[in-house]
Amino acid sequence: MLPAINLKKRNIGVNFNTDGKAEIKLWAPLAKSVELLLTKSNEKHALKEASYGYWLLTTDALKPDDLYQFVLDGKSPLPDPASLAQPETVHGPSQAIDICAFNWTDASWENFALKDYLFYELHTGTFTSEGTFAAIKSKLDYLKELGITAIEIMPVAQFPGGRNWGYDGVFPFAVQNTYGGAKGLQHLVDVCHQKGIAVVIDVVYNHMGPEGNYFGEFGPYFTKKYNTPWGNAINFDDEYCDAVRQYYTENVLMWFRDFHIDALRMDAVHAIKDFSAKHILREIKQEVNQLMAETGRKHHLIVELDLNDTRFINPLEKEGFGMDGQWIDEFHHALRVAAGGERTGYYSDFEGISHLEKAYRDAYVYDGIYSPHRKKTFGSKAEHNAGEQFVVFSQNHDQVGNRMLGERSSQLFSFEMQKLMAGAVMVSPFLPMLFMGEEYSETHPFLYFVSHTDPELAEAVRKGRKAEFAAFHAEGEAPDPVDEATFNKSKLQWDLLEQEPHATMLQYYKTLIALRKKLPALQHLNRQHLEVSSDENTKTLILKRWHENQQVLCLMNFSEEHQQVQLPKNQQQWHKVLASADPEWNGPTTSPETVDASAPVILQPESIIIYSN
C-alpha cells in the first residue's frame, strides 16, 4: 500500500515548498529513466526512482509559471499527467503553478448544510458572452437576488480547444485555460463566498477524453478488464491500481483544500468499475472526512447515479459509500412525461402522473420493480434516505443537450406548463436545481459542442451524434458539434430579461424560491411528512406537506382542460400563497384567495396552486 496522503498539501505533480523549490513527484512504474525538460532553456534534469513506481526530484531550476515536460526513456516529451495548467493546449507543455500562492479572503465563509442548497447549473463558456470565470462574477448579484445558494459549474478540467461541455477533459488537475485557469477559478470562488454563494464543481472520474490523453504513456491508468462507452476503464482495481486511486483521491482533496470548492458533483459514477474490497468512492469519502476534521470546513460529495442503488448514498457506518447526495433523473423523466413530453428512448419507461406521484413519495420510481425499457427488475428502495440526498430538476445539461436540437423546456412546452413544472420541482421534498436560463425561459438551445483538433476524431463525434438519436427516432440532421456556430447558438441571451414573457417568468421563479425558503413545510425536507395522490384520468396531482402545525397543499393540473379536485377534509380553510394561472404571472384568471375544504376547487389547465393553512 502507498504511504498515507498528506492532507496539508498536494502530493503529486509539481509543487513548491516554503524554500521556493519545486518538489516533483511523477508516477511512471514501467519507465527505466525519467527526465524533467525545461521548455525555455531546453535543460534536462533527471528524476530519481523511488518506491511504488514514483520518480522524485527537488530543484530550484523550475520556477512558478515556467513551462516543462517529462521525457520517459529518451522518447518524445510529454505533458505532466498531474499538470495544473496547459496554456498551449492539451498537446503542449505543462506550466508550473504555485497553487498555494492565492490570497484568500473567505476565512469567515461557512458552507451551507446540504439541505439548504438550491443549485444553479451553468456552463462557463455559454453562461456569458465572454465565457470566462471573470464574467460569471458579474452575474452573482443576479443569482443571489434570484435566491440561488449554490452554483454548479460544469467540468473545468482542461480539454482540447476552447469549446466543450467539459466531459472530454484530459487533465483532471488543470483548470481550462480559456476560462481563466486556476487563478481565475480561485478568484471566482473567493467572490462567491463573499456574496454567500457556495460553489460546486462537476468532476469526471469515470473516463478520460480522447484527444490529448497521454496517460497510457506513463503507466497503467487504464485496465482492459472492463469495457465502458469510452473504451478501457480507468484502473481502480487491477494491477498497479493503488497509484491511480491515489491520483483521483488527491484530485478530490485539491478541489476542496486548494480551491475552497464546497461540493463536488461526480459524473456518472455507475460507470466507475471497481470491485475492490473498498470502493474508490468509499475511500474518497474517508479521506474527505479526514480533511474536514483537520480544516474545520464542510464539503459535500454528490453523484450522478443511474443505478437506483442506495449503497452509494448510505453512510459509511451502514457499509455504504458515504456519498452525501445524488442527482435523480427519474423525477425529471416522470415530470416530463406527465407534462406531455414524448415517450421515446428511456422515457418509454415512464407513465407520467402516476410515476410523478411515486417519485414524490419514494424518490426512486424503479425501486425493485420491472423496467420494460431495461427488460429487468431494477433498483432498490430509498425509504431510509433523507430528502436532502436527492437533487431534482425539470431540465439539466444532459436532458437538454442530449436532444438532437438541444431544445429547452421553453421550446417544448407552453408558458403555463413551464410554470407548472417549475412549481412541481420547488414543492418537492428534495433539493431543487435550475439549469442556467430556465428561470427566464431562455429560448436559445443548449447543443452538444466540441473543438477537437483531430479531423478523424471530429468526424467520429459527428457520426456518433447521429447514431445516438436512432433510439429516439429523431428526424433530420444533428447540428455539427465541431462548428463554432453550434457553440454560439448555445449562449444565453441576457437581453431577454427586459422582455416579456421572460421578465414575468423570472419574477415567478423568484417568488417560488422565496416561498420554498419561507414556508416551513417546504423548507424542511422530511419525506415522512408528505401525502400525495394523483388521478391519471384528469392528470391531476395533490401533494400535501407539513412541518409541525404548518401545512402546504399543492394542486397540480397537467391536462389542457379545467379540472375539478376535492381538497382534504382535515383542514377547514386553505389560503392561497401562489397560483401560476393568476394574471400576475400572465395567466388567464385569478384564483380565490381562500377556499373551503368542503367545496371542490377548479384548476386552470396546466397550472399549480399552492395553499397554506
Same domain, 505 and 591: no
23 as an active site residue: the answer is no
Give me the DSSP letters along 267-285.
TTGGG----SSS-HHHHHH
Burial-class residue 435 by CB neighbours within 10 Å (0-12, 13-18, 19+).
buried
Burial-class residue 90 by CB neighbours within 10 Å (0-12, 13-18, 19+).
buried
In tens, the pLDDT along 120-178 reads 999 999 999 999 999 999 999 999 999 999 999 999 999 999 999 999 999 999 999 99
333 annotated as ligand-binding: yes
Domain with residue 209: its CATH number is 3.20.20.80
* Position 64 in a domain: yes
Report CA 475 to chain centroid distance, whole Å: 29
Higher confidence at residue 327 or residue 474? 327
Same domain, 497 and 540: no
* Residue 362 banded pLDDT, cuts 50, 70, 90: very high
| Catalytic residue (choose from 211, 304, 388, 606) | 304
566 annotated as ligand-binding: no
Containing 400, the helix (H) or strand (E) segment is helix 397-401
* Position 476 in a domain: yes
Please list the alpha-helical segments (H only) found in 490-580.
502-518, 520-523
407 annotated as ligand-binding: no
Same domain, 147 and 27: no
421 annotated as ligand-binding: no
* Residue 227 banded pLDDT, cuts 50, 70, 90: confident
Task: Indicate the residue type of 214.
Answer: Y
pLDDT higher than threshold 60 for residue 607: yes
Same domain, 152 and 274: yes
What is the spatial distance between Cα 239 and Cα 223, in angstroms, rounded to a whole number?
Answer: 8
Q: Tell me what the pLDDT averaged over the chain comes to.
A: 95
Same domain, 45 and 163: no
* Position 312 in a domain: yes
pLDDT higher than threshold 90 for residue 568: no
Residues 6+ apart with CB under 8 A from 32: 73
202 annotated as ligand-binding: no
Same domain, 498 and 420: yes
* Position 102 in a domain: no
Q: pLDDT exceeding 70 applies to what percent of the chain? A: 98
Of 266, 330, 277, the closest CA to residue 302 belongs to 266
Please list the alpha-helical segments (H only) found in 63-147.
124-127, 133-137, 140-146
Take residue 21 and report the three cell numbers written for it: 523549490
Same domain, 277 and 395: yes
| Catalytic residue (choose from 35, 202, 262, 267) | 267
Higher confidence at residue 401 or residue 466? 401
359 annotated as ligand-binding: no
Q: pLDDT exceeding 90 applies to what percent of the chain? A: 89
Helix, strand, coil percent values for the chain (each to nearest 5): 30, 20, 50
* Residue 230 banded pLDDT, cuts 50, 70, 90: confident
| Residue range 390-395: mean pLDDT, rounded | 98
Same domain, 193 and 312: yes
Residue 459 φ/ψ, nearest 5 degrees: -70, -40
Containing 184, the helix (H) or strand (E) segment is helix 181-194
* Position 142 in a domain: yes
Residue 164 φ/ψ, nearest 5 degrees: -170, 145
Structural domain count of the chain: 3
| Residue range 185-211: mean pLDDT, rounded | 97
Q: How far apart are the first and last CA of the chain?
A: 60
Instruction: Specify the pLDDT at position 571.
Output: 73
pLDDT higher than threshold 90 for residue 10: yes
Containing 49, the helix (H) or strand (E) segment is strand 48-49
Same domain, 87 and 119: no
471 annotated as ligand-binding: no
Same domain, 319 and 406: yes
Residue 191: give the domain boundaries: 114-215+249-351+384-453+461-510
Instruction: Specify the pLDDT at position 115.
Output: 97
398 annotated as ligand-binding: yes
What is the spatial distance between Cα 303 and Cα 25, in angstroms, rounded to a whole number?
Answer: 30
* Position 523 in a domain: no
* Position 104 in a domain: no
402 annotated as ligand-binding: yes
Same domain, 468 and 576: no
311 annotated as ligand-binding: no
Higher confidence at residue 452 or residue 407? 407
- Give the residue from 64, 95, 126 where a domain finishes: 95
265 annotated as ligand-binding: yes
Same domain, 436 and 572: no
270 annotated as ligand-binding: yes
| Residue range 559-571: mean pLDDT, rounded | 90
In tens, the pLDDT along 525-544 reads 999 999 999 999 999 999 99
Angle at 509 between CA 506 and CA 513, to 5 degrees: 145
pLDDT higher than threshold 60 for residue 259: yes
438 as an active site residue: the answer is no
73 annotated as ligand-binding: no
